[in-house]
Amino acid sequence: MNQSVIKALSLLNLFSEETPELSLKEISVRASIPKPTAYRLLTTLERMDYLYKIKENEHDSRYRLGLKLLELGHMVSNQLEVREVALPYMRQLGKEINEAIHLVIINHDEAIYIEKVESTKAVRLFTRIGKSSPLHIGSGPKLLLAYLPLERQKRIMELILKSDQQLNKDKIWRDLNLIRKRGYAFSEGEQDKDTTGLSFPIFNYRNQVIAALTVSGLTSYFKGVHLERLVTLSRQTAIDISNQLGYREQQLTEY
């Protein structure tokens, strides 16, 4: 393991409600490391916004936890909350449709599956919790990409196209625009042969899409009246979860 990273992160543990602010000298003493070493590690953490420095004089400074930790804490809180809220609804939906149901979020520039409800059918899809996927493959990942702010969309699209120059850029953009227009994503055979995915957005109290509710199964089942029922029930389940998270419907802004 990288000892410098361990030492740097261990400095964050020195802060608490009782000691929200510490000087360079105090950190050096509490961490039992030389002052120059402490200063080097603290400077790195400060540059990454994990710490905020208050300059007292030319010989000493004081530090507080930075806003990056608040941002990360908010992300973790959102992920835990959406799983806790969504799971009962996913289980109920599973009883009604008997298809595999997933909860998908963005982690950095990939999609990650954070919850799953299995079907009881003899032939099942193999998808594990924790599985990651590129954001342009599958209904859940593509839906999440479609609802990102345009600038972040463009940046991720550049990475995607750079990693695979055979991809059809115009088709991907058309797919993303269609997803936003109709409010859900539909894919066939993108992640696994002969399988279909149907995904709806889950919104938080800020009216931001924070997850995708994805129903997956054999393509032969996703036809006709059964498909219409899947769309209706899945959409309502995503709305119910969003409402529990504080979402209030509003008109989406088109690009």
CA atoms of 201 and 11, how far apart (whole Å): 39
Residues 80 and 177 in one domain: yes
Q: Show contacts of 228-235: CB within 8 Å, 24+ apart.
A: 229/97, 230/97, 230/99, 230/198, 231/184, 231/198, 233/93, 233/96, 233/97, 234/93, 234/97, 234/184, 234/198, 234/200, 235/183, 235/184, 235/200
- The answer to whether 75 and 107 have CB atoms below 8 angstroms apart is no
Q: Can you give the pLDDT at residue 75?
A: 66
| Global confidence as pTM | 0.69
Residue 187 located in a structural domain: yes
Q: Is residue 250 part of a domain?
A: no
Asked if 77 and 101 sit in the same domain, the reply is: yes
CB 238 within 8 A of CB 116: no
Q: 217 near 195, Cβ under 8 Å?
A: yes
Decide if 117 is inside a domain: yes
Q: Return all residues near 148 (Cβ < 8 A) that are at least 6 apart.
A: 106, 156
Helix (H) or strand (E) holding 5: helix 3-12
48 plus 139 within the same structural domain: no
Residue at which a domain ends, from 45, 65, 85: 65
Domain range for residue 130? Answer: 70-244
Contact predicate 50/38, CB 8 Å: no
Same domain, 60 and 75: no
CA 53 from chain centre, in angstroms, equals 30
Same domain (yes/no): 53, 120: no
Mark which of 65, 86, 119 sits at the end of a domain: 65
Number of domains in the chain: 2
Residues 23 and 144 in one domain: no
Alpha carbon 173 to chain centroid distance? 21
Same domain, 229 and 138: yes
Structure tokens at 200: 């709806």
In a domain, 237, yes or no: yes
CATH number at residue 32: 1.10.10.10
Q: Write out the chain's pLDDT in tens, 255 residues.
A: 467 788 888 999 999 878 899 999 899 999 999 999 999 999 999 999 999 988 766 667 899 998 888 777 766 666 678 999 999 999 999 999 999 999 999 988 899 998 999 988 766 666 778 888 999 999 999 999 999 999 999 999 999 999 888 899 999 999 999 999 999 999 998 878 888 999 999 999 889 999 999 999 989 889 999 999 999 999 999 999 999 988 987 644 444
Looking at the fold, whether 163 and 225 belong to one and the same domain comes out as: yes
Within a domain: 152: yes
Q: What is the CATH number of the domain that holds 133?
A: 3.30.450.40
Residue 253 in any domain: the answer is no
Residue with tokens 């609802």: 147
32 and 149 part of one domain: no
